[in-house]
Structures are given as C-alpha cells and as structure tokens.
Amino acid sequence: MKKVLVIAILLFGMVRLAWADFVDYWHVYYNYSLIDHTNEFVIKVEDVKPKDKLRIHYYRDRLQLLDKYLKVVDNSGNLVLLTNFGKETLPFNGDWKTMYLPVKVLLDYRKKTSRSSFEVYYQLGEDASKPDVQTLVLKVKLE
C-alpha cells in the first residue's frame, strides 16, 4: 500500500509540473491580401481607397472569459482606437476572432496629429497593465 501511495504522489507531482503550451496566432489581411505581419507594414497614402481596411484573424487556444479589444496606439504611445469585439463563448473549441481596422481611422489621425507610425494590439480586458493581456499583432506606417 505504501508503494502505491508513493507512486501516486510522484505521478501527481509530475502532473503538476507539466504545463500546457498555448500558442496564439493570427493572420493579417490588407483588404483581401494576406500580408507579412512580422515586419512593419507600409501603406502608401496616395493608393488608399475609402473602403480599405486591415482585417485581423486572431486565434487564441485557451479560454479567457474577458472582453476582447483591438487596440491601436501611435508611435508616442497615445491611444488611437480601442474597439470591443465581445467575449468568448462556451462550449470552447478555440476562438477565431475577426477584427477590422479601417485605414481611414489611421489617415484621419495622421491629419490631426501628423503621426504616421502605429502599433496594433490584440488585448484581453480593458486593463492592459496585467501580464499576458495584450499581444502586438502589427506595426503600420503611413507614407
């Protein structure tokens, strides 16, 4: 009986040490073209059409019952846009969220402030000070 108890304690200890590996990933589209989101994405202002948009398909494979936000900041860290995209729902099989960012929002902000570099984040909850709540998805530069 003691051997069974020792083995059970050892197995339980090993299970507690093993952590699941969660990976978030995303695809970014400019209109309907998939873009490389690992580098800064440059948008030529003279080529922008009124309905142009950035579309972000974001997949999170763990359940977080928090509101999801698309957050855009300029190169000085000032908030440009914070848009709520709702909560995850149960039953949970992973969660693909599609978020849209009209390029016009960035152009209008550029006209007001003359700032032309932006960072786009996927954020969980309104409070971004907690660890693991926001992920840099894309850097955008208007030229």
The CATH number that applies at residue 31 is 2.60.40
The larger pLDDT score, comparing residue 101 to residue 20, is at: 101
* Three-class HEC string of 84-122: ECCCCCCCCCCEEEEEEEEHHHHHHHHHHHCCCEEEEEE
* Domain count across the chain: 1
pLDDT digits (tens, 9 = 90+) for 77-92: 888 888 877 665 554 5
Task: Establish if 93 belongs to a structural domain.
Answer: yes
Q: Provide the whole-model pTM.
A: 0.73
pLDDT of residue 83: 81
Task: Establish if 104 belongs to a structural domain.
Answer: yes
pLDDT of residue 103: 93
The larger pLDDT score, comparing residue 52 to residue 36, is at: 52
Task: Establish if 5 belongs to a structural domain.
Answer: no
Are the beta carbons of 113 and 74 closer than 8 angstroms?
A: yes
Task: Establish if 7 belongs to a structural domain.
Answer: no
Q: Which domain covers residue 128, as residue numbers?
A: 20-142
pLDDT averaged over every residue in the chain = 79
Task: Establish if 15 belongs to a structural domain.
Answer: no
The larger pLDDT score, comparing residue 41 to residue 66, is at: 41
Task: Establish if 79 belongs to a structural domain.
Answer: yes
Element (H, E) at 57: strand 53-60
Task: Establish if 60 belongs to a structural domain.
Answer: yes
pLDDT of residue 13: 60
Task: Establish if 61 belongs to a structural domain.
Answer: yes
The pLDDT of residue 43 is above 90: yes
pLDDT band at 63 (very low <50, low <70, confident <90, very high): low
